[in-house]
Chain A
Amino acid sequence: MLKILLKNRLLALADQLTGQSKGKKAAKLGTYAVLIVLGILILIGCCAGVNALFGNTCVRLAERGEVWAVYGFAGAAGFLLALFLTLFYAQGVIFEAKDNELLLSMPISPSAILASRIGSVYFLNSLFTLVLLCAAGYTVSAQTGGISVLSWILVIVCALLLPLLSTTISCLLAWLVSYITRRTGKKVLVQTILSLVAIAALFLVTMGVNKNFFTTFAESAGDIAQAFRQALYPLYAMGLAIAESNWGMLLIFAAICIVPFAIVYYVLSRSFIRIVTARNAAKKQKYEAAALKGSSVVWSMTKKDLTRFFNSPAYMTNAGLGLLYSIGLTVFAMISGDSIIKTILEKSSSIPDPAAYTTVIAAFVISFFAALTTISGCSISVEGKNLWILKSMPVRAKDVLTGKLLSHLVLAIPVSLLCSVLYLFVAKMLTVPGVILMFLMPIAFHCFNALFGLISNLHFGKLDYPSIAKAAKSTSSSLIPILSTILLVIGSATLYFTALRDTMDVTVYGIIVTAVMIVVDCCLFYYIGSSGAQKRWDQLG
């Protein structure tokens, strides 16, 4: 039974990854083949990347006899990545799966259902860990003249053991999120906070490792070994087990991975029915009639789309990442602004007008982050099963699309303006045209990104995603505006610095770029009100 359940879960996972839920067997097999080839390419790319980035560090560690640390770091990266990427998957697949009750009504033991669900989380975690540990193995092999077959076998064994640990923690955190959600009824708030904490933690850990750890690493090996032993003992044990074929350490590492996993599995399987069938304990709100406030059709559509955005943590964190980055960048500019400007000025002695340059560069940088905000880029796909509501209503495509456009812009433009205002406090050296540019250029790019994203989604978007979260994560049409905006921002900046720098004033160039973008925006806006957009809208669904 477990085999059947596990097979079903893995097939569902494969369908999620390929975005294919139905179709001919041959087409499915073809997609799986592409997925496997892609996986192999990622593995090769990771091996080459890790070797290129950490090859020198590996050589120094090998000279000190501390190759284990390479595996330790790879294990830590794999562990964090797996935890970060599968936490919400674990919650959805274990505690909030729609077929939990159906399966529980069948003659299947709860422990088998739980095992199949945890199995799919473990499978994903082991993929991440396997890729990173293999990359570490390849790097050690390339830098030290090869490693033994036994070491490779131990890499594989550890890549199978370590995911048990990340799966255990994923399950515990998923249980915690489910528990808090049930008690408070604030699912969106809990998930959003956790998503932001996870993103921030990953960002800080990565930054911290980049900035401090590797510098210290190269200087004081003993301290790092000590730190590893104290803080990350399982990874220290794993590193030694692989690098030195230390069987004792392997046993310790295996025990550290297997025992907590077994305990968590046992406890969850004993309480699985109670957990998945528990009712929301949050107090129900009773409606009390109050005066209703009417809105125009477009504003009503905008409010509807904003409500959807703020009620889906996955939509917020995937499509609104650019907003977070913009705010992060602004905070970073507030803290480090002076030193950045000084560095730019020191390294650009030939620049005739440093104030204008720094302003235009800042305008381009803020514009760049517009590309990462893809709210409109999946706003039609997230309608999914709800599309019938709009299509059965007497609304024009223009009103629906304008609502979606506005829901993007009412979030993106204030953030863009905030970034521009805060930059003005940092910049100190300002010109009037520069200040205008500072505000207008990012807005023009935000409008382009929103409009182009909307049109891409209208023409190339899929509508059969099972949930808003899935649509927000998977909509491939979002890539079109992301890449186009990045290309336009970087392309126009590069064009100036490589070809026009000596012939045109930087502010004038910035104004021309902004003016061109405003014209493009007007054309795109005209399109969403045209019969072409209406015709395409009518064909949807």
Chain B
Amino acid sequence: MLQISHYTKQYSADGPKAVDDLSLHIRPGEIYGFLGHNGAGKTTTIKACCGLLDFTEGEILVNGMSIRKQPLECKKIMSYIPDNPDLYEFMSGIRYLNFVGDVYGVPTDVREKRIAEFANDMGITDALAEKVASYSHGMKQKLAIVAALMHEPKLLIMDEPFVGLDPKAAFILKKFMRTFCDNGGAIFFSTHVLEVAEKLCDKIAIIKGGKLLADGDIETVRGNESLEEVFLELVDDIKVEEEHA
């Protein structure tokens, strides 16, 4: 569903590589977690996958189509949820969702049904008449999630999707992510919450300084250790037991 091959991003010609020769493959049915410290290159990669950011080398294919050469076709089958969703604050929630429905060409009866379902799941139905400007961070995040699901994408790309969500919404989102992938969808998301990644992901990739340190099935990557221990060893060169000792 999403194939990243030798992806390299350099913001300036003489500057360092923000991401260096990254290759990942996210298949249908997989929840793929993308882990790394702040500034590791997660958001840069995610933005490139969504066609928001051009890149220096490599190729990114969405369902076999190049995000560079066929951006519109790629975007039709995927959705992006940023870490800090700056939505149209001048619109009401329902107008924003209707706008998204218009752009993706979702029939009105279908969008009504989906809005009712997803907004109810996220607990924002009552607030849909209010302007987005009056929403809290978590509410905006929930609205962005509902908007992202409007056109039933095959690929969901999310940057820190659990930030700002209350426990109920986080639980619902995790449940939804699993159902979404069980029905053939694919999810590629970044997170700092290792527990979430450990419980939710089928595969993970760990990135540091723009370079891929490890990737694969969660069991393969962590071996006999917890994900937290593996992460700290790989990223920070910290042996957890030694630290404790």
Query: Are these two chains actual partners, yes or no?
Result: yes
Shortest distance between the CB of B156 and any CB in chain A (Å): 12
Which A residues touch B103, using CB under 8 A?
297, 300, 393-395
Bound CA–CA A292/B97 (angstroms): 10
20 further A-B pairs in the complex, CB-CB below 8 A; given A391-B51, A396-B72: A285-B130, A289-B112, A292-B98, A292-B111, A293-B98, A294-B107, A297-B102, A300-B102, A300-B103, A304-B99, A307-B88, A312-B90, A388-B82, A389-B87, A389-B88, A392-B79, A394-B76, A394-B103, A538-B71, A541-B52
Residues of A within 8 A of B94 (CB): 287, 292
Q: Which of A260-307 contact B (CB under 8 A)?
A: 280, 284-289, 291-297, 299-300, 303-304, 307
Q: Mark B204-232, 1 if CB is under 8 A from A, else 0.
A: 00000000000000000000000000000
> If the complex has contacts A287-B125, A292-B112, are A311 and B90 also in contact, measured as CB distance less than 8 A?
yes
Q: Which of B92-120 contact A (CB under 8 A)?
A: 93-95, 98-105, 107-108, 111-112, 115-116
The distance in angstroms between the C-alpha atoms of A195 and B93, with both chains bound, is: 28
Q: Is B104's CB under 8 angstroms from A308's CB? A: no
The reply on A343 being an interface residue by CB < 8 A is no
Q: Verify if B54 is at the interface (C-beta below 8 Å from A).
A: yes
Q: Is B37 part of the binding interface, using a Cβ–Cβ cutoff of 8 Å?
A: no
Q: What are the nearest 7 A-B pairs in CB distance? A: A300-B102, A311-B90, A287-B128, A287-B129, A385-B86, A394-B75, A285-B129
Complex formed: what's the CA distance from A280 to B127 in Å?
15
Asked if B243 CB lies within 8 Å of chain A CBs, one says no
Checking B75, B93, B105, B108 against A287 with a beta-carbon cut-off of 8 angstroms, the contacting residue is B93
Q: List 13 A-B contacts (CB under 8 A).
A: A284-B130, A287-B125, A287-B130, A292-B98, A293-B108, A300-B99, A386-B87, A388-B82, A392-B51, A393-B104, A395-B72, A395-B103, A468-B90
**Candidates A289, A386, A538, A539; contact of B116 at CB < 8 Å:** A289
Given the interface pairs A293-B108, A392-B51, A394-B76, the reply to whether A308 lies near B88 with Cβ below 8 Å is yes
Which residues on B sit within 8 Å (CB–CB) of A304?
88, 91, 99
- The complex places the Cα of A201 from the Cα of B28 at a distance, in Å, of 64
Residues of B within 8 A of A291 (CB): 108, 112
Q: CA of A299 to CA of B103 in the docked complex: distance in angstroms?
A: 10
Interface size on B, residues (CB 8 A): 42
Which single residue of chain A is at the shortest CB-CB distance from B111? Answer: A292
**Quick one: which of A506-541 are within 8 Å of B by CB?**
538-539, 541
Pairwise interchain contact A388-B102, C-beta atoms closer than 8 A:
no
Given contacts A307-B90, A389-B88, contact A394 B72 (CB under 8 A): yes
Name which residue of chain A comes closest to B93, CB basis.
A287
Whether the pair A386, B88 counts as a contact (CB closer than 8 A) is yes
**B contact set with A: CB distance below 8 Å:** 50-54, 71-73, 75-76, 79-80, 82, 86-88, 90-91, 93-95, 98-105, 107-108, 111-112, 115-116, 125-130, 134
Q: How far is the CA of A386 from the CA of B132 in the complex (A)?
A: 12
Contact residues of A between 384 and 424, Cβ < 8 Å to B: 385-386, 388-389, 391-396
Q: Contact between B87 and A538 (Cβ–Cβ < 8 Å)? A: no
Map CB proximity to B onto A339-373 as digits: 1 under 8 Å, 0 otherwise.
00000000000000000000000000000000000
Which interface class (under 10, 10 to 19, 20 to 34, 35 or more) fits A?
Answer: 35 or more
Per DSSP, are chain B's interface residues mostly helix, strand or loop, or mixed?
helix
Judge whether A286 and B75 touch: CB under 8 Å. no
Residues in B whose Cβ lies below 8 Å from that of A393? 75, 100, 103-104
Number of A-B contacts (CB under 8 A): 96
Q: In the complex, A287 Cα to B129 Cα: how many Å?
A: 5
A300-342 to B contact mask, C-beta < 8 Å, 1/0 = 1001100110011000000000000000000000000000000
Cα distance A292–B114 when bound, in Å?
12
Known: A392-B50, A396-B72. A286 touches B88 (CB 8 A): no
Alpha-carbon distance between A193 and B67 when the two chains are bound, in angstroms:
47
Asked whether A287 lies within 8 Å of B52 as measured between CB atoms, the reply is: no
Query: A386 CA to B82 CA in the complex, in Å?
Result: 11
Known contacts A300-B103, A392-B75, A393-B75: A287-B126 contact under CB 8 Å: yes
**Chain A neighbourhood of B101, CB < 8 A:** 292, 294
Give chain B residues whose Cβ lies under 8 Å from the Cβ of A388. Answer: 52, 80, 82, 86
**Complex Cα spacing A394 to B71, Å:** 7
Kindly state the separation between the CA atoms of A311 and B134 in the bound complex, as whole angstroms. Answer: 14
Q: Which residues of chain B are within 8 angstroms of A389 by Cβ–Cβ distance?
A: 87-88
Q: Contacts of A538 on B, CB cut-off 8 Å?
A: 54, 71
Mask of A447-474 contacts with B, CB within 8 angstroms, 1/0: 0000000000000000000001000000
**Distance in Å from the Cβ of B142 to the closest Cβ of chain A?**
14
Closest-CB distance, B24 to chain A (whole angstroms): 20
Which residues of chain B are near A284, meaning CB under 8 Å? 127, 130
The answer for the CA separation of A284 and B90 in the assembled complex, in Å, is 16
A312 CA / B91 CA spacing, docked (Å): 12
Q: How far is the CB of A314 from chain B (nearest CB, A)?
A: 12
* Distance in angstroms between the alpha carbons of A303 and B96 in the assembled complex: 11
> From residue B123, how far is it (CB to closest CB) to chain A in Å?
12
Contacts of A312 in B (CB 8 A): 90
**Which listed residue, B71, B91, B105, touches A307 by the CB 8 Å rule?**
B91
Q: Specify which chain A residues have a CB less than 8 angstroms from the CB of B104 in the assembled complex.
A: 393-394
Tell me which residues across on chain B come within 8 A of A307, comparing CB atoms: 88, 90-91, 95
In the complex the two chains form, is A392's CB within 8 Å of B80's CB?
yes
Q: How far is the CA of A304 from the CA of B99 in the complex (A)?
A: 8
- Take A285-B129, A386-B88 as given contacts and tell me if A391 and B112 are in contact as well, using a CB distance cutoff of 8 Å: no
Taking CB atoms, residues of chain B closer than 8 Å to A395 are 72, 103
Cα separation A304 to B92 with both chains bound (whole Å): 11
- Chain A residue at minimum C-beta to C-beta distance from B103: A393
Complexed CA–CA distance, A291 and B112 (Å): 7
Chain A residues in 8 Å Cβ range of B88: 304, 307-308, 386, 389
Complex Cα distance, B99 from A308, in Å, reads: 13
A439–B35 Cα distance when bound, in Å, is 62
Is the Cβ of B82 less than 8 Å from the Cβ of A308? no
In the complex formed, the residue of B with least CB distance to A400 is: B103
Q: What is the bound-complex CA distance between A468 and B90, given in angstroms? A: 10
Q: Which residue of B lies closest to A299 (CB)?
A: B102
Residues of A within 8 A of B111 (CB): 292, 294
A294-B101, A300-B102, A391-B52 known; A286 vs B126 contact (CB < 8 Å) = yes
A295–B102 touching, CB < 8 Å? yes
- Inter-chain CA distance A393–B51, complex, in Å, is 9
Chain A CB count within 10 A is highest, among B53, B76, B91, B103, for: B103
B108 with A292: CB separation less than 8 A: yes
Residue of chain A at shortest CB distance from B127 = A287
- A393–B144 Cα distance when bound, in Å, is 13
Q: Which residues does chain B contribute within 8 Å of A311, judged by CB atoms?
A: 90
Please give, as numbers and ranges, the residues of chain A lying within 8 Å of B129 by CB-CB distance.
Answer: 285-288
A468 to chain B, nearest CB (A): 8
A392 in complex: contacting residue of B52, B54, B125, CB < 8 Å: B52
